[in-house]
Structure 1
Amino acid sequence: MMDEQVLRGARILAADDEDANLRLMRRVLEREGFTGFTATTDPAQVLPLFHQVRPDLVVLDLHMPGMGGMEVIRQLRPSLAAEGWLPVLMVSGDLDPEARRRALADGAKDFLAKPYDPAEAVLRIRNLLEMRFLHRQVREQNRLLERKVAERTRDLELAQVEVLERLAQAAELRDDETGEHVRRVGDLAARIARAMGLDDAFAEMLRRAAALHDVGKIGIPDEILRKPGVLSADERARMNTHTTIGARILAGGRSELMTMAERIAVAHHERWDGRGYPRGLSGEAIPREARIVAVADFFDALTHDRPYRPAFPVADTLAMIEREAGLHFDPDVASALLALHG
């Protein structure tokens, strides 16, 4: 049952060219406990009053000089539509059925004939207000449900990402005893993105997505992944498949984060000059996020010990990246990394 306090606190906007009619309606409503009554005898004032008062119900006289009730409804139509469901009660001494039909067709929700019985007027107004508040409750409930669904979807996506991050870390532990490489690459990629002037939202998403860049290594045998010496051509070809394996693992994600991670996984070994793998993309055909991760991955991999070689000095690694700018790496990304170490 509708809360009486809420109902009686409703805001009602009425327009009638006869001030006596408005005074009568005010007395009838106030006697029933309604307190939010605003009235005007000028139909041209209905629209500005509508935006000022934000009514729950509009009461219009059908026939007013200069602008009739139906013309007022047509003026209000965009504002009424924005409210979802906001009723208009048309009042008139015109008993012509066609006039009623036109009023209802133009958007009025109910019709009250003059002279009206005060008890009937109150009942019609109460019914319309109850419908107004019920519609508003349903809309709020729908918004709440949509928010909960969005939160649940986000939680599921984050859980999925967490599982994949753990999978990526598990793969990395076979190649990096600390398992910290994927985290460091993500952090460095985000710093590079910010140094390039990219926004924080992109940088944060990149930080999480970049951590999945080598998830495909889970499908590479230990004898290849941990081989201390130089890989044969066949072994190198097998190692290179970690990009397409990673893309398959990440494929089908519906969130922007997962689709970014998929693009990074498959393209972070492409080269600016087109001599990378797996598709030989070049220049800006390589996704920007993959170009950033390519530099971050290269820098971190070379400056930390691996099972097959010791770490390179940072200065030497930066010099290599500077030389490879425009060949292996996107020049802008390389410049951003160098600026971070300048």
Structure 2
Amino acid sequence: MASPIILIVDDEPANLAVLSALLRPLYTVRACKSGPRALEAACRDPRPDLILLDVMMPGMDGFAVLDHLRRRQETAEIPVIFVTALNDEVDEEHGLRHGAVDYITKPIKPTVVLSRVQVHVEVKQARDRLKSQNAWLEAEVRRRISENLLIQDVSLATMAQLAETRDSDLGNHISRTQAYVETIARHLQHHPRFADQLDDDTLARVVKAAPLHDIGKIGIPDHILLKPGKLTAEEWAVMQTHCQIGGNAIERAITATLSRHPPNTAEPTKPEALRFLEVAKDLTLSHHEKWDGSGYPHGLQGEAIPLSARIMALADVFDALTTPRIYKAPWPVEKAVDLIRAQRGRHFDPAVVDAFEAEFAAILHIRQQLADAPSEA
């Protein structure tokens, strides 16, 4: 390990010589005779671990040098010990208040100098080790958070794909609807009604939750879910339960999470996992509700429907209309847009329809980029 670097600043050659001779057996010593030179030397790599700074120098005195050192980011944390003669009229409080760590008086007492230099070098080294350790810990926390988020994303994708594999007709439905949701939601961030509801963190949760919107279909019997023709009234009633099935599953996940990790009353911030699950539950449970109250499962109306679900509703309908299903051919895009416009204020939140139309070029680009591969004959 390299020895600590001590920078000695004194305009008197004799003092420089004495201090250098005293410290050189134990430390790497640099020396200079003026304030400006001291500032240059302090910025040179490797930087000093400690500066012994004469107070009473011509031109730029020690106080001025210290002020410059503290204003520079690269030298702000280098400890400075002032060196002054016994008969100098020096305001020690002023120096300590501006960042000096200690004073040494002339004539030099070797034992005192060595002791104080050793103490402050060791404090500096300890502080550097702690800073390095904190940096490592912060990096490790970031790495683990990133790893946990990756695991979470993979788990969510697996859950969503598991539900969709039961309906092989859906192609890239998950990816497209998620991208539609993100596009519409980002537009709504700039709407005065929704700015508070769609901060960046909430928007990210909504986008991440979008693929789970039909997770409840995993509980629908195959003869209904995969039926190639129109459902009977009884079958349709069963199909509608997929919202409640999905919402209930996520609610149980919330309950299980709380049982394993009870809320910390001393920490008012809700854990991110719970915030995400709550958004996912709202979106999954309510994406078939309608603005006019005629939807299901609860007949919610207007803003009683969670915003995430109102956005998901339009994205889901547009994709369902414009892609083929085993029971129908795809609608032309123009016809689907006409229906969405006609359902503004009925099925859909008017503001969500407006955002969809404002971002329609982006919507079409997503549709093209994530188009399903042609089915084999």
TM-score, normalisation: structure 1: 0.67
State the Cα distance separating 1:75 from its structure 2 match: 8.2
Residues in 1 aligned to 2:302 and 2:32: alpha-carbon distance in whole angstroms: 68
Question: 2: CA distance between counterparts of 1:187 and 1:104?
Answer: 59
Whether the 8 Å contact between 1:304 and 1:312 is mirrored in structure 2 is yes
Secondary structure class of the residue paired with 1:211: helix
Aligned to 1:312, the other structure's residue is in SS state: coil
Structure 2 distance, partners of 1:320, 1:90, is: 80
1:148 maps to which residue? 140
Question: Could you report, residue by residue, the CA deviation over 1:39-88 in whole angstroms, capped at 9, with x for unpaired residues?
Answer: 5358xx98x769856653233446779998689868866779996x6423
Aligned counterparts of 1:121 and 1:100: Cα–Cα separation in 2: 17
Per-residue displacement from partner, 1:215-256 (whole Å, max 9, x unpaired)? 344455657655651445864663441463365266466268
One-letter amino acid matched to 1:214 = D
Which residue of 1 is the match for residue 149 of structure 2? Answer: 157
Structure-2 residue corresponding to 1:21: 15
Q: CA deviation at 1:324?
A: 2.3
Structure 1 residues 314 and 151: CA distance shift in structure 2, 3 A: farther
Seen in structure 2, the aligned counterparts of structure 1 residues 50 and 34 have a Cα distance that, compared at 3 Å, is: closer
1:15/1:61 contact within 8 Å kept: yes
Q: Does 1:302 align with 2:296?
A: no
Cα distance per residue 1:105-131 (max 9 Å; x no partner): 875444433222457635643553343
Q: Is the 8 A contact 1:270 1:276 kept in 2?
A: yes
Contact 2:170 2:325 in 1 (8 A): no
Task: Go from structure 1 to structure 2 and tell me whether the alpha carbon gap of 1:223 and 1:74 turns closer, same or farther (over 3 Å shift).
Answer: farther
Q: 2:80 aligns with which of 81, 84, 88?
A: 88
Where in structure 2 are the equivalents of 1:46-85 lying within 5 Å? 52=43, 55-61=48-54
Match in the other structure for 2:300: 280
Say if 2:86 and 2:105, in contact at 8 Å, map to a contact too.
yes
Partners of 2:82 and 2:281 in 1: CA distance? 59
Which residue of structure 1 lines up, in the alignment, with residue 374 of structure 2? none
Quick check: 1:331 aligned with 2:353?
yes
Counterpart-to-counterpart distance in 1, 2:42 and 2:218: 61
Q: In the alignment, which residue of structure 1 is the partner of 2:105?
A: 113
Deviations 1:279-331 (A, max 9, x none): 836369843x5444332211222333446x32431333232123223441412
Q: Establish whether residue 318 from structure 1 lines up as the match of residue 337 from structure 2.
A: yes
Measure, in 1, the Cα distance between the counterparts of 2:301 and 2:20: 75
**One-letter code aligned to 1:215:** I
Give SS of 1:310's match.
Answer: coil
Find the residue that maps to 2:272 and give its secondary structure.
coil
More displaced stretch, 313-322 vs 108-117: 108-117
Give the 3 Å change call, closer, same or farther, for CA 177–80 of structure 1 in structure 2: closer
The correspondence for 2:34, drawn from 36, 40, 46, is 40
- After TM superposition, give the deviation of residue 187 of structure 1 in Å: 3.7
Contact 2:250–2:277 (CA<8 Å) still a contact in 1?
no
CA distance in 2, matches of 1:286, 1:15: 68
Q: Cα offset for 1:211?
A: 1.7
Cα deviation code 1:171-220 (max 9, x no counterpart)? 2233445564323322443455678899xx99987654422222344455
In the alignment, is the contact (CA less than 8 A) between 2:244 and 2:285 conserved in 1? no
Helix, strand or coil for the counterpart of 1:174?
coil
Q: Residue 90 of structure 1 aligns to a residue in which SS?
A: strand
**Residues 66, 38 of structure 1: alpha-carbon distance in 2 compared, 3 angstrom cutoff:** closer
- Amino acid in the other structure paired with 1:335: E
Instruction: Quote the Cα distance in structure 2 between the aligned partners of 1:102 and 1:180.
Output: 70
Distance 1:223 1:50, change over 3 A: farther
Greater shift in the superposed pair: 168-177 or 69-78: 69-78
Query: In structure 1, how many angstroms separate the alpha carbons of the residues matched to 2:341 and 2:144?
Result: 45
| Gap change, CA 1:68 and 1:294, over 3 Å in 2 | same
SS at match of 2:83: strand
Residue 204 of structure 2 is aligned to residue 186 of structure 1: no
- Listed as ranges, the gaps of 5+ residues in structure 2 are 191-199, 258-270, 366-377
Aligned-residue Cα RMSD (Å) equals 4.9
Distance 1:136 1:218, change over 3 A: farther
2:231 corresponding residue in structure 1: 229
* 3-state SS, counterpart of residue 170 of structure 1: helix
For normalisation by structure 2, the TM-score amounts to 0.62
Counterpart position of 1:212: 212
* Distance in 2, Cα, partners of 1:303 & 1:262: 26
> How far, CA to CA, are the matches of 2:294 and 2:355 in structure 1?
18
